[in-house]
Structure 1
């Protein structure tokens, strides 16, 4: 019953998505408000229908209904409650349905806004959202149906089908395959939903960009309407990438957070173009520049999201993150080709109307810096795109799939990331419209001197690597410029208004949260850069087989093997757990327990490292193997990862800055409350 209800609601949702896209388009062409409203209501009704389908699938997952093929593939009897829910996006069919659910929910939010001023956008936004929803729901209905049942035929064989074959009976296994052990990690509870939210949210600015092209609205109104949607999409996508990096660090046993895996890169590429878009739209709002460029960037971002979804699910790329091979690959390619072709066609149609209102007048102006910043992000995208598609191209033309490895990406992207940090250090000191090298140099000299002093101290501490010194120097420059520029603004405001410095600082940031939120984002980026520099340039490792009581040496660390236990658990695992003591010099700094979990159902091992983490370094130990008979010896791999904790701390600061940048500016009432709290304490406010 639940399977039929879930599938039936999906069919109706698909028909409504098709109807909404057609009604929106016809209403826009014929200027008929009734048709537009009908299309909007159809779009709104899709959400409860897809929610019902999601609810039915979750019910089947929670109750272990193994006659459903999807449930059998991702759930088992020993799977805990929370993992049964996360199994919704643990397989291909469920994740596609979840994609549709998120987009349907966002469609309700966007189409129920006040449209009085921008009513001409509404029919085309409805139409674009309907088309995208129709495509993804159609995949769940016709290709990757999560409600397909197992049937037992009269001859004893089994068949997976939605409809009952003649003479067949429902077949239900006693147990399922269970969720992939690599996905049984807290990071995978949050990583896929946040990544999908980032993907789906970028559909909103894309739909408004298409509406602007169709209606001929060449001003920046569509950007202003979608500013917070774009920031939200970027925030969720960033969070998804950070949590994915943490998952890789904890589960995959790389000793690192990023392996330049093709599927990792497929999620990173829309982040690059989306980041370029967020920087570029500021120039259009402030100076009327880059109108064509902004449309190009949002088209690229949208189709890269679809491409990333395709690469993950088509089976064309080998990856630990990828789903199994599926028939949906050609459908994705057709959809990408159609949406990209139609979008570019509309852009060319409006090309002359999208001329910039102003021109770049100075090489050192803020808009010029934003342009250079965009070029860097696009260069990074090109490097990543080429690395991802090259194995496919080589396979087509030579019959051999030549994989592009991390050394290619690292050599190609390192100078670009360095240039990006340099621009982050310069941008806050530039001005809109016109800025000269002399004025920029005058503003730069004080923070530059401080940055040089910091670099001298770092070099004196023993750091000799040219790459590390360059990286630390750029990080120091960004930090000093950011604090210098903010401090200068606070000082000027305090002098002009007579306000206390603290009040001036809060009000300055509150009056321009987008700007100072961006500064906090930059600080988060440089904190993450510290972690990247530490692990990429200073990571050391060793591996060895030692008996109980013996030790491995790495740098100033002593890793001593104390004990090993091998035992089964009630949830179907065999655990080998080592006890390892860590000394740094003569000081014992902790005891860790690296282990290997072997899942009997899937016959798959998962490595769980033992980690001691401080602000200065991570000591990361993996149990590679052991002597199973005597348990007297074990093989360990040890990584010494300096500064890597700053990568995760920087992620939190990054998120804080994004939230501040997307929050509305301070109102007069909020300013009065802040002034009261600062002058009289919080007690006065609560009175």
Structure 2
């Protein structure tokens, strides 16, 4: 115990010391940048950089001390007492680090420090003129979290006595999905700080060329990809654990994770136009500010407890601090944009409505509309309580009715945009590029209407098929053109094509992943079957093409938990198909908070999903669901992740070739042509 107490002191001391170095880095970076002449005072800037690394090191020390306190079960630390217990497994003792406010804020701050140090190392030479303001902005963000950790939510607060056991982590968090989902979301949030810092550095320094965009493209892709994985694992966790048969319920915490992803998606598309054509400069800056602001907003909603959610496990007093910080960020950032407006005016205008530039513009309008509607839904309970004194919650019907058509339009535009040429489209180009996708759209919509006899699912499937055809056509057209020139085999031509334009073709793969997800969403939302049944041993219930016979109830006890399991024989179309074992888990210390062990059997077409809801000596009760095309959502998430990774992967640097003595001029011309 003495060693553990010493480590707690070391961690608390590191947190107390870190703000001093953060303030030093901010002041020295600004003064070093404001010195007359370029590049300011290099020695001062180097000193500020060293201070940033010290802040990162101190945060790592504090995080290590907290991990050590958890692993040694040091219950004199209130945060450890609150989030672990003797019977808790090693995995969930580790994940308890981010199980409450203090630990998640420390995780946020430590990750921010690591990313800041990496960004300074990678971009110190190439973006030297931006580095002072980048350091200052990132250290201001870090300082905010350090002040919270020292004065509002300290992870090293001690109890007056040392309990023999802790309370333990919330049972819903003791799941593999929750070991992955929260750190992914927090990492996605914190990594949006880097593009924001570069954007603010460009605004504050007046260096408004495309350099900051090139520096932040892969940072934004990384943040977007991590948020994508966080959303995917969150949906997977909800589907497997919560037991309501769904994966997305437009819950407030789900929504505040979605809206930074939507804003980052809009920013990535807008940045392409800004970099290629010098257009949408204000759009691009506002979008990166919005993406970062929404990341802070998401942390505020989840960690303040101001809104009730099945995904939120924290109640605290940090809400006003986050609200004040978010307001300051938005006011200062937008004021900087307004101040630089004369320098942000584009020399180019849209040449035509039917152009790729217009496609990007409409894409951004749809994404921002989704952000606005979803944010309004999240805030509506607070706004209604402020106005009328009664908290009115906005539920899934609102989001489905408003966001559903917007998402459908966005899916359609995802198919249209890549087919449009830059600047202006001719009739010949439109005919050549759109005839097959439009033909597929018309044929599939007509056929699906006949088969499904329902307009909205038929339209959803048809639009997804249109976008799929668009992606396939773009790949086939580009690969065929390359093969016509090089004569390469299909596989080799595909690999080399993608390696030379990873951003473009990785983006097409992301679109393909979203098409898979769209098929899964339409199928599972419109064609789900569900029923509740109570069965005595030997009785059978039917749902869809499945017949489920209740066999027996079993109970298993260990020091850590009690598990009750029901056994069901499942026949499909009259033949034995599988045996399912849904159950309930009662963790030690949380006997009044059981969690569901849901039984799921997946196929390419549908999931059979069974939840045990109750039992007595006469039988057991179940909720039965048949969820069509669920696996398409998870496959789509995998394809989307691969596409994001392809787009993020660094381009291959061309190898210098030796120049033959007698052909120096010829080879030099070839090299210039290649570049």
Tell me by how many angstroms 1:450 deviates. 3.6
| 1:624 is the counterpart of 2:613 | yes
| 1:596 is the counterpart of 2:605 | no
Aligned counterparts of 1:313 and 1:193: Cα–Cα separation in 2: 14
Aligned counterparts of 1:185 and 1:459: Cα–Cα separation in 2: 42
Aligned counterparts of 1:225 and 1:665: Cα–Cα separation in 2: 14
Paired residues of 1:65 and 1:71 also in contact (CA < 8 A):
yes
2:660 equivalent in structure 1? none
2:330 equivalent in structure 1? 340
Q: 1:214 to 1:353 in 2, by over 3 A?
A: same
Out of 62, 67, 82, the position equivalent to 2:76 is 67
| 1:519 is the counterpart of 2:524 | no
1:580 equivalent in structure 2? 568
| 1:207 is the counterpart of 2:193 | no
Aligned counterparts of 2:632 and 2:126: Cα–Cα separation in 1: 45
Aligned counterparts of 2:153 and 2:12: Cα–Cα separation in 1: 11
1:683 equivalent in structure 2? none
Paired residues of 2:513 and 2:636 also in contact (CA < 8 A):
yes
Ranges in structure 1 where 5+ consecutive residues have no aligned partner? 152-170, 672-687
2:620 equivalent in structure 1? 634
Tell me by how many angstroms 1:366 deviates. 0.5
Out of 85, 98, 118, the position equivalent to 1:89 is 98
Paired residues of 2:87 and 2:588 also in contact (CA < 8 A):
no
Tell me by how many angstroms 1:635 deviates. 0.5
- C-alpha distance after superposition, 1:80-120 (max 9, x if no partner): 11111110001111111111110010011011124334211
Aligned counterparts of 2:631 and 2:485: Cα–Cα separation in 1: 41
TM-score in terms of structure 2 length? 0.94
Tell me by how many angstroms 1:456 deviates. 5.2
Tell me by how many angstroms 1:314 deviates. 1.5
Paired residues of 1:362 and 1:436 also in contact (CA < 8 A):
no
Moved more, 137-146 or 369-378: 137-146
State the secondary structure of the residue aligned to 2:94: helix
2:297 equivalent in structure 1? 307
| 1:51 is the counterpart of 2:60 | yes
Aligned counterparts of 2:322 and 2:126: Cα–Cα separation in 1: 36
Moved more, 317-326 or 390-399: 317-326
Aligned counterparts of 2:378 and 2:28: Cα–Cα separation in 1: 39
2:224 equivalent in structure 1? 234
Out of 413, 417, 424, the position equivalent to 1:427 is 417
Aligned counterparts of 1:387 and 1:445: Cα–Cα separation in 2: 39
Aligned counterparts of 1:625 and 1:345: Cα–Cα separation in 2: 58
2:26 equivalent in structure 1? 21
Aligned counterparts of 1:333 and 1:666: Cα–Cα separation in 2: 43
Tell me by how many angstroms 1:499 deviates. 2.6
Aligned counterparts of 2:299 and 2:120: Cα–Cα separation in 1: 25
Moved more, 580-589 or 590-599: 580-589
Aligned counterparts of 2:465 and 2:28: Cα–Cα separation in 1: 56
- C-alpha distance after superposition, 1:587-633 (max 9, x if no partner): 22211110011224023110111011011100000000001xx2x31
Tell me by how many angstroms 1:322 deviates. 1.8
2:667 equivalent in structure 1? none
- C-alpha distance after superposition, 1:294-321 (max 9, x if no partner): 1110111111111111111222101122
1:502 equivalent in structure 2? 491
Paired residues of 1:57 and 1:146 also in contact (CA < 8 A):
yes
State the secondary structure of the residue aligned to 1:574: strand
Out of 281, 284, 290, the position equivalent to 1:291 is 281
The correspondence of residues 236-635 of structure 1 with structure 2, limited to 5 A, is: 236-436=226-426, 439-455=429-445, 458=448, 462-571=451-560, 573-602=561-590, 603-627=592-616, 630=617, 632-635=618-621
Tell me by how many angstroms 1:357 deviates. 2.5
The correspondence of residues 53-202 of structure 1 with structure 2, limited to 5 A, is: 53-151=62-160, 171-202=161-192
2:665 equivalent in structure 1? none
Ranges in structure 2 where 5+ consecutive residues have no aligned partner? 1-5, 658-675
Paired residues of 2:199 and 2:285 also in contact (CA < 8 A):
yes
Paired residues of 1:365 and 1:436 also in contact (CA < 8 A):
no
- C-alpha distance after superposition, 1:56-101 (max 9, x if no partner): 1111111111111001100000011111111000111111111111
Tell me by how many angstroms 1:453 deviates. 4.1
Aligned counterparts of 1:662 and 1:114: Cα–Cα separation in 2: 17
The alignment's C-alpha RMSD in Å is 1.6
State the secondary structure of the residue aligned to 1:615: coil
Paired residues of 1:206 and 1:302 also in contact (CA < 8 A):
yes
| 1:657 is the counterpart of 2:643 | yes
Paired residues of 2:130 and 2:207 also in contact (CA < 8 A):
no
Paired residues of 2:414 and 2:467 also in contact (CA < 8 A):
yes
State the secondary structure of the residue aligned to 1:150: coil
Aligned counterparts of 1:235 and 1:429: Cα–Cα separation in 2: 24
Aligned counterparts of 1:565 and 1:323: Cα–Cα separation in 2: 31
Paired residues of 1:364 and 1:440 also in contact (CA < 8 A):
no
Aligned counterparts of 2:379 and 2:293: Cα–Cα separation in 1: 15
State the secondary structure of the residue aligned to 1:245: helix
Aligned length: 647
Paired residues of 2:250 and 2:396 also in contact (CA < 8 A):
yes
State the secondary structure of the residue aligned to 1:641: strand
Aligned counterparts of 1:28 and 1:221: Cα–Cα separation in 2: 18
Paired residues of 1:451 and 1:480 also in contact (CA < 8 A):
no
Aligned counterparts of 1:199 and 1:574: Cα–Cα separation in 2: 37
Moved more, 433-442 or 320-329: 433-442
Paired residues of 1:364 and 1:437 also in contact (CA < 8 A):
no
Aligned counterparts of 1:436 and 1:400: Cα–Cα separation in 2: 56
Paired residues of 1:507 and 1:666 also in contact (CA < 8 A):
no
State the secondary structure of the residue aligned to 1:621: strand
Aligned counterparts of 2:269 and 2:536: Cα–Cα separation in 1: 56
- C-alpha distance after superposition, 1:221-258 (max 9, x if no partner): 11101110000000001101110110101111121111
Paired residues of 1:288 and 1:357 also in contact (CA < 8 A):
yes
Q: 1:114 to 1:316 in 2, by over 3 A?
A: closer
Paired residues of 1:618 and 1:643 also in contact (CA < 8 A):
yes
- C-alpha distance after superposition, 1:618-663 (max 9, x if no partner): 0000000001xx2x31110011100011100110100000011112
Aligned counterparts of 1:109 and 1:297: Cα–Cα separation in 2: 24
Tell me by how many angstroms 1:519 deviates. 0.6
Paired residues of 1:515 and 1:661 also in contact (CA < 8 A):
yes
Paired residues of 1:611 and 1:621 also in contact (CA < 8 A):
yes
Paired residues of 2:585 and 2:594 also in contact (CA < 8 A):
yes
Moved more, 322-331 or 346-355: 322-331
Out of 629, 632, 646, the position equivalent to 1:646 is 632
1:160 equivalent in structure 2? none
